[in-house]
Chains A and B, each alone.
Chain A
Amino acid sequence: MNKHEIPGPPAWAQRLLKWYCPADSFEEVEGDLRELYAYWLDTAGKSEANRRYCLNVIRLQRPFSSRVTKYYSSPISLTTMIRHYILVASRNMLRSKAFSMINIVGLALGLACSLMIYLWVEDEKRVDNFHANKDRLYRVYIRQHFDGQSETGYNTPALLPAELKKVFPEIESATGFVKYFRLSLQDDVYETFQVGDIIHKMKGGRAEPDFFKMFTYPILYGSAETALKRPESLSISRKMAELYFGSADAALGQSVRFDGRKDLTVTAVFENVPVNSTDQFDYLMNWDAWVAENPFKQSWGHFGTSTYIQLRADANAAAVEAKIKAFLMKFLQGYPAEYKAELALAPFGDQYLYADFENGKPAAGRSEYVRLFSWIGVFILAIACINFMNLATARAVKRAKEVGVRKVAGSPRSFLIFQFMGEAILVTIFSTIIALAIAGLTLPAFNMLTGKQIMLPLNDVYFVLKLIVLMLVTGIFSGSYPALFLSSFQPVKILKGTFSFNARAITLRKSLVVIQFVLSLILLVATIVISQQINFLQTKNLGYDRENVIYIPLEGDLVKNYDLFRKEASATPGVKVVDRCSQFPHTMGFRAAAVEWDGAGLKSNIIFNMASVGYDFVDAMKLQIKEGRGFSRSIPADSMNFLVNEEAVRQMEIKDPIGHQLTIWGSKKGTIVGVLKDYHTGSLREKIDPLVLDVKETLNFGTILVRTSAGETVLALENLEKVWKKLNPDFPFQYSFMDQHYGNMYTSENIVGKLSNVFAFLAVAISCMGLLGLAMFSAEQRRKELSIRKILGASISNIITRFSNDFIKLVMVALIIAIPVSWFIMIQWLKGFAYSVELNWWMFALAAASTIALTMLTISAQAITSAMENPADNLRSE
């Protein structure tokens, strides 16, 4: 009888049986049923046999019949198994120390990097977000529209906060705030306080009585209600209290002399402002008294201070924003019809990360760096994980026999996956511990670099939980592929010795290496471009010479003694020119549409950068004159005349600027005597604006500029101090350098530059470690092949090239992918600057060349050792 004709039981029933029958009793049950089936066939016929067979199969499926019985139940318990796995894992690690080192150290470095970046990012996000009421705190900003242009800024009228609070019930509290008390000096300014003999310059500001109720700056002594209430109120930080009174508790109620002219009473001592607050201040004083002292602050048209508000808990921010939108216009009289100023709200906590404005809304700013670094952190961790995967799969050959024996001995696949995943997690745990140690050791340096006070928050439960999650995710991610790969081996093949990697595994490993190098190359290019841009910012010809210029505050008696000071100081050795400016010339923030000229027509609303300077400003700044002349003390009319820059001429569209009539602020009429070559009056992120300068040597605000002879700064400072002591004895002599101020404008770029240097270096280092591991492995695998080549006459250089080529090829592929990607990314980044370096081919070439060089360096050691080996040693064993 033909074998196929033997009738068997229905296939579906057999499958059903196989599916649910417990594995330990399946064999005999199926056997018994088959035997019975044959018996039924003989006695009752095919259909009856089928019927009985199916019936029995179904009946066997009893949900409550015991499946507990384990005929093969293993006497080995789970804990023994785990202990065994750990033993095997540690033996494997110890047997190949180099690989394990590369694995653990690479992963640890990657983890440490991501950990630091994570801490930095978290810290950045916490800036200004530590206030208890943070969800209800908003900052008011103004959008101005005129002449088809618009400008958005945080500066608001000083009267605005109180008025807002009065009119809108949804606004629970409101305060004005100003750090820069001196008009237009948009940089750190110090004020003088004196108690007895103790006299210091401190940094602080003015705020309204609601201030301490709104923000979480804890008050140590005194109360939030009275801290800023009276005109003579003075709230000081613990640091300032300790400086003047020895201790924080002794300060309350004490009298302090301010600016040599006014006695204040300490009404509150608050805890030092944390570093992650944008507003840094050591004292705060009464708002109304300050507004009263500065009449221009009482004007609604003067936008010069911040407005912070706190909404009622039930208020809707969007609704409030809509309500206050047109509020300001009521107070702005006599503006052209097309001029519009709208109020809007931005969450207070966003002012740090989203400081820039784009299309009238807060945008990007530092948050871009935060995003950038978050990506870098992920990149680096990915590179480290890829290392791990690659090395583990490469070393699979070594473990293949183990897998084969395990499978033969009855280990199911799930056990093997568990084992290899477990090993990966074990390595990750080691790495995490090392990473924590690295992070702990390098944090002080990291803090120095970034100007932060980050600590490892190991007592923070959430942090520890996140760390554990990160550890598990990393372990599972990096262990997933090796675990699935290793456990898929067929024991017969392995044990027969015919095992080899299939093409897919090799391709995957190669593409992982490529990905790794793509990521490193992108980081490398980014680093080069960023450092070029920073270098550009620092060395760009700004149109003026910022070296050898000293700023001296214009304060106290110097306001009325300025002319005397100028004369005496310029006569001393070391000092070349003494002049003044109503703003810091390196960052002029004051802009207004206050210039009229003949033929202005509709263009009269151009926003000008405006400053009042002394007669010798052009010399002091070393500005270049394109047409006409600078101001001159010997021409009396110059006190009414103006200097403009090229951009102003361009925007005003006047043909013959010299001698052209201008009127500023509707009252000061004069002519243009000179056109200055465009120079940068602010950060290079901004375009050069039209500029108008006039002469005012009697203003009670601004800064003194002193140009010193190169190399004689010390001498100049000594002499300046002498003159100062004579003319302004009540104030300590204070000075700062223009180039330092200028450098401070790019602090965040500098930090980003340094950080990206460090991280790009580490990324490349980690990639190379992985490559080293692969090279070592490859050398081991190909030992015999290379030896045979050598016997057949290959030269050492032949072998080295052959060996290196595989790796170089991968790096080449990575290059082809990485260059366009990084080009695209860096173009985007540079768009953020009005003035930036051009992307140049050499930047990419440098990144490429250094990567290739490093690759060569990494593998050449292996290649040379392999090539130099005596073939006899490698071949005699078989």
Chain B
Amino acid sequence: MKRYYLGELEELILLTIAILQEPAYGVNILKEMETQTGRTVDFSTIHTTLKRLEEKGYLGSEMGGATSERGGRRKRFFRMTKSGYQALRENQEIRNRMWSLVPPNLHLKTA
């Protein structure tokens, strides 16, 4: 079976796209991620990751219609593909399974 590998940022972006109610594109993905995680994210990082995810086939994209906003530049809207969703699910399952194996009386080292 094909294995799905997702980096942390990739996973977060996929989740963000899943969360977003409106069509997802560069800027609103970035903003949503900032609100959800509370950390600043670089646009360039987002852009490259989106491209990578599309290459991997986890995302599909299409150009939006022409607008008068933002200098008339169109937006590229991203949607998760089936395999993207599966990768995300699989990641989650692995974590769930592993969490379930963590003993409740975990002995932690004091710093």
- Whether, in the assembled complex, A293 has its beta carbon less than 8 Å from a beta carbon of chain B, the answer is no
Q: CA of A476 to CA of B72 in the docked complex: distance in angstroms?
A: 42
CB of B73 within 8 A of CB of A59, answer no
CB of B43 within 8 A of CB of A31, answer no
CB of B44 within 8 A of CB of A59, answer yes
CB of B51 within 8 A of CB of A66, answer yes
Residue of B nearest to A37 (CB): B70
For A27, what are the chain B residues with a Cβ–Cβ distance below 8 Å? 63, 73-74, 76
CB of A69 within 8 A of CB of B54, answer yes
B15-23, B24-32, B80-88, B103-111 - interface stretch: B24-32
CB of A65 within 8 A of CB of B48, answer yes
State how many residues of chain B have any CB contact under 8 Å with chain A. 24
- Asked whether A31 and B47 contact (CB < 8 A) given A59-B42, A66-B55, the answer is no
Q: CA of A30 to CA of B52 in the docked complex: distance in angstroms?
A: 18
Additional A-B contacts beyond A28-B63, A28-B73, A60-B44 (5; CB < 8 A):
A27-B73, A27-B74, A36-B30, A56-B43, A66-B52
- Whether, in the assembled complex, A62 has its beta carbon less than 8 Å from a beta carbon of chain B, the answer is yes
User: Which B positions have Cβ atoms within 8 angstroms of A?
Assistant: 25-27, 30-31, 42-45, 47-48, 51-52, 54-55, 61, 63, 69-71, 73-76
Cβ-defined partner of A29 (8 Å) among B47, B54, B69, B71: B47
For B52, what are the chain A residues with a Cβ–Cβ distance below 8 Å? 65-66
Residue of A nearest to B67 (CB): A31
Cβ-defined partner of B73 (8 Å) among A34, A56, A65, A69: A34
- Whether, in the assembled complex, A47 has its beta carbon less than 8 Å from a beta carbon of chain B, the answer is no
CB distance from B41 to the nearest CB of A (A): 11
Q: CA of A266 to CA of B54 in the docked complex: distance in angstroms?
A: 91
Encode contact with B along A17-36: 1 for CB under 8 Å, 0 otherwise. Answer: 00000000101111111111
- Whether, in the assembled complex, A39 has its beta carbon less than 8 Å from a beta carbon of chain B, the answer is yes
Encode contact with B along A777-816: 1 for CB under 8 Å, 0 otherwise. Answer: 0000000000000000000000000000000000000000
- Whether, in the assembled complex, A409 has its beta carbon less than 8 Å from a beta carbon of chain B, the answer is no
Cβ-defined partner of A69 (8 Å) among B26, B31, B55: B55
Residue of A nearest to B74 (CB): A27
CB distance from B68 to the nearest CB of A (A): 12
- Whether, in the assembled complex, A635 has its beta carbon less than 8 Å from a beta carbon of chain B, the answer is no
- Whether, in the assembled complex, A68 has its beta carbon less than 8 Å from a beta carbon of chain B, the answer is yes
Q: List 29 A-B contacts (CB under 8 A).
A: A25-B47, A25-B51, A27-B63, A27-B73, A29-B47, A30-B71, A30-B73, A31-B70, A31-B71, A31-B73, A31-B74, A31-B75, A32-B26, A32-B47, A34-B70, A35-B69, A35-B70, A36-B30, A36-B43, A55-B42, A56-B44, A59-B44, A65-B52, A66-B51, A66-B52, A66-B55, A68-B55, A71-B61, A71-B63
For B44, what are the chain A residues with a Cβ–Cβ distance below 8 Å? 56-57, 59-60, 62
Q: CA of A757 to CA of B30 in the docked complex: distance in angstroms?
A: 82
CB of B74 within 8 A of CB of A32, answer no
Q: CA of A28 to CA of B51 in the docked complex: distance in angstroms?
A: 12
Residue of B nearest to A30 (CB): B73
Q: Is the interface of A mostly helix, strand, loop or mixed?
A: helix
- Asked whether A32 and B51 contact (CB < 8 A) given A27-B74, A56-B42, the answer is no
For A31, what are the chain B residues with a Cβ–Cβ distance below 8 Å? 70-71, 73-75
Q: CA of A60 to CA of B48 in the docked complex: distance in angstroms?
A: 8
Residue of A nearest to B49 (CB): A65
Residue of B nearest to A59 (CB): B44
For B61, what are the chain A residues with a Cβ–Cβ distance below 8 Å? 71
For A57, what are the chain B residues with a Cβ–Cβ distance below 8 Å? 44
Q: CA of A39 to CA of B43 in the docked complex: distance in angstroms?
A: 13
Cβ-defined partner of A36 (8 Å) among B27, B45, B75: B27
For B69, what are the chain A residues with a Cβ–Cβ distance below 8 Å? 35
Residue of A nearest to B30 (CB): A36
CB distance from B86 to the nearest CB of A (A): 21
Residue of A nearest to B69 (CB): A35
For B75, what are the chain A residues with a Cβ–Cβ distance below 8 Å? 28, 31-32
- Asked whether A35 and B47 contact (CB < 8 A) given A28-B73, A66-B55, the answer is no
CB of B30 within 8 A of CB of A69, answer no
CB distance from A62 to the nearest CB of B (A): 6
For B47, what are the chain A residues with a Cβ–Cβ distance below 8 Å? 25, 29, 32, 60
Q: CA of A32 to CA of B63 in the docked complex: distance in angstroms?
A: 13
Q: CA of A288 to CA of B111 in the docked complex: distance in angstroms?
A: 116
For A30, what are the chain B residues with a Cβ–Cβ distance below 8 Å? 71, 73
Q: CA of A36 to CA of B28 in the docked complex: distance in angstroms?
A: 10
Q: CA of A39 to CA of B48 in the docked complex: distance in angstroms?
A: 21
For B45, what are the chain A residues with a Cβ–Cβ distance below 8 Å? 59
For B76, what are the chain A residues with a Cβ–Cβ distance below 8 Å? 25, 27-28
Q: CA of A69 to CA of B31 in the docked complex: distance in angstroms?
A: 25
For A56, what are the chain B residues with a Cβ–Cβ distance below 8 Å? 42-44
CB distance from B54 to the nearest CB of A (A): 6
Residue of A nearest to B72 (CB): A31
Q: CA of A25 to CA of B26 in the docked complex: distance in angstroms?
A: 12
CB of B51 within 8 A of CB of A65, answer yes
Which 9 residue pairs of A and B lie closest in terms of their CB atoms, listed nearest first?
A31-B73, A32-B26, A59-B44, A28-B76, A60-B44, A34-B70, A56-B43, A35-B27, A35-B70
